[in-house]
Every structure is written in structure tokens, then in C-alpha cells.
Structure 1
Amino acid sequence: MTKTILVTGGNQGMGLEIATELSELGQTVIIGSRSIEKGQAAVKQLAQSNLQIDFVQLDVTNRTSIDVAIQYITDEYGHLDTLINNAGIAVDDHIAPSQLSTEKMRQDFEVNFFGLVEMTQASLPLLKKAPEGRIINISSMMGSHVAALDPNSEVFGASATGYQASKSAANMFTIQLAKELEQSHVNISVNAVDPGIVATNFGGTPAQQSAARGAQSPKAGVARTIELATADHVATASFTNTNGSVPW
């Protein structure tokens, strides 16, 4: 069954890869992009591959922008099957926590947590109109408390406290919203995904440089997200990657 899917931050990187693959699978895809020019460029790029996607200007840190986007989707589609909260930033990589400014931490939280929360809350009425709504939050193992304390973890040496804390907060929102909806008998699943380290320009590191350091391809990074978006049925309150469960 064709689903209507909104991908925030869908004009580049993993978001664009998610939009591309879902469109190739025949889904109706809407990309949200803060930049109108970049959003339109993404639509044009995919059209060259005969992929038709829609675009809506969307800044998840701006409530007016969110409301306008939701109204557009309401008018054009009437419902939303899946919300993929992909928009994210990292402005504090390799900064020691004792030296990290609260300004940079707030930047991380504005997009990765508060933006995600506001976008999700605004989308709930549309998701409730779907037979089986889905919310997929692009998180990171870097937000895992267990992994951060495990010397054998691939993220043990990471130092991006603001980014990591914002992902931890988003994970808790994922859990609590999933519980609320399940207990209220609302047929919307809420799950978090760890894409791993992906070769994109995220965080200011050029994609080629990330790839040279062993980062996986965007296609590999979005595999679990595509699976959650297209599977016949999914669980709720999970945190997973392509290898299975990720510790909260």
C-alpha cells in the first residue's frame, strides 16, 4: 500500500537518500527543507531519475514554519502515514565538556530535541488519520548512556556532549510518547534509529573525508529506516540499527 511520508531535512545527505529510496519503492514522499532553493534543487535532481517527490519549506525550529507545512500537507493529502524526523545538526564535535559553550549546546537541542518534539506534536493529528501511523526518529548510538560508558563501544571516545545529550533527550521522548500512544490505544508506533557513522557532510565534515575514515555509505546508513518505514508491521519503543537493538 502506498504511504504518504514526510522526511524532515530531506534535501541532502541521509534525508535525501531516504526520500530517494522510498520514492523508488513507490511511496508518496514529501521532503521538508529549511532552504527553499535546496529543497527545489532536490526535487529537480530526483525528477531527472523519474522520481516525483513533493517539497515543503520547513524549519523545525520555527513554529510558524511547522504550522504552515502541516497545513499544506493537510490540504494536499489529508493525512500522514509516516513522519521521519531526520533533521539534525552537530556543532560541538571534539570540544571537551568543560570547554563547551551553552550556546552551542542550545543550538544542538533546538534542532535535535525541541524541533523534533514540536514537529512530532504538530504531526500527530495527521498521523492519527492513517490506518497505522509511524514516527521514526533518527537518533544515534552517541546518545546511548550504556555505549558512552562501555570502553569497547565504537562511541566510547566520542566527545560531542551537546549533540549526544540532545539525542539522549530525543530517545527519552521516543520512549515516553510510544508508551502514551500505546496505552491510549492510538495506532501509531514510535521508534528511534541509529544510522551509524555515515559519509555525508553532516557536522561540517566533508563526505569524502568521512568515507576515508571508514564511514559507511548513505545507502547503508538508511537501511534500517527504510525497513521501519515499509515493513507491514513494526514494534514500538525500539532503538535499533541494522545489527539489531541498540542500548538506550
Structure 2
Amino acid sequence: MEGGFGPRVIFELPGGIPVTETVTTTWIIMAVLTIFAFVATRRFDKVPKGLQNVIELLVDMVYKLTAQTMGEDKKAFAPYIGTLMMYLICANLAGLFGFRPPTADVNTTMALALLTFFMIHFFGMKRKGVGTYLKGFLQPFPVMLPLNIIGELATPISLSFRLFGNIVGGLIIMNLLYGALAGLSTNLGIAIPVFQTGIPAVLHLYFDVFAGVLQSFIFAMLTMVFVSGAMD
């Protein structure tokens, strides 16, 4: 969608395929994370120091969080959960650097939610067996089958719109605030929008930093809870 609060089309690929700022910002985030991973892990010492200390601390925290949330037998999910959290944090904080957060596009949040959805059912069937897993939809009574199916289909919708709503809501509020402050400067006869300097910083701290990191953590936690619940 172009115009309004939707992502702008940056350029078009051959065949008229539009590439929006959601995609280009995601490419930038991928490049930054890839470069960071290369630089941070290219030289590890037996006795950690400096950046290696930070990296090992973060990795240890992710593994402990995964084990505490999903169980010791599911620590293999830690690399995915860590990658998911790193991407979401970077995506949600993109607004601080003048980019439109990719998570302010429902296509991004729905794609991530669908990954969680497929993981829930794939690993549930893998752990319990297809027949046993599908029989769970008949619990506690067979008549509950339609409601159980609707409940499962609601999972990716609720996951995606929770994240999307929080991020795009903050984006809209900040855009409205900047517009109002620019109008205030104009009405007072000030050519430079001086009120846009400093005043929005507090709201940026909340919407971009606090809410962004919090929503990243919530999405990752819900992913772990849903997947582990399907496997247990």
C-alpha cells in the first residue's frame, strides 16, 4: 500500500513487482545482523574478554530462557528464538534511525506468526505422532472439534495483529505528533520546526524502545509457549 501510513514503494523489479520500504529495511537489518555475527564470532578466545563476553552472556541468557519456558529437552529451539528476538528488536527500533519499522507492516507480522503456527503443528505431530496429535482436537468432547480448529486458526491472527497493532499505533501517533509540532511552528511564524526537536524524544523512548523491546519479548515468549504446549 502506498500513501497514508502504509509502506512506500521504493522501486520496482522487472515485471512490475513493487519493492516497499518494508522489504528494503528488512534487507538492511539482515545485512547488519550478518555483519555483526561475522565480526562478533570470527575470533573466540578460551578466556573471553570484551565483545566475546557480551556475546556469550546473550547466548547463555537465550538458552536459559528457552529452557525455563519450554523445558530442558527443547533447548534446541534457542537459536531460532534468539534470531527471532534479534530481528524483532532491530525491526521495532528501526524508527529511531529514520526507517519505517518492518513490523508496522502486517505482511511481516503475519509471516512471522505463520512460522510460529506451522512450528506448533509440525513439532506437535512430530513429538506425539500424527494420529495422537489430531485426536487432541476432539478433546474434551468430539463436539468441540469446530471450536478447537477455530482456536488454532486464531493463533497466528492474534499473534500478528498484536505485534502489528502496537508498532503501527506508535508510528501513527509519532507521525501525528510531528505534524502537529510542525503546524505549531508555522502558526507561530517560525520558519524552522523547532518544536520537533527534543519534545518527541520522550515518546520515542516509549513507543520505539520500551514498547518495541517489550513486544519482541512477548512475541518470542508466546512462540515458545505455544510450541512447547503442542509438544507436551
TM range (shorter): under 0.3
**What's the TM-score, normalizing by structure 2?**
0.28
TM-score, L = length of structure 1: 0.27
Compare the two structures and name the one with the higher helix fraction. Answer: 2
Higher Cα Rg: structure 1 or 2? 2
Which structure would you say has the larger RCO, counting Cα contacts within 8 Å and 6 or more residues apart? 2
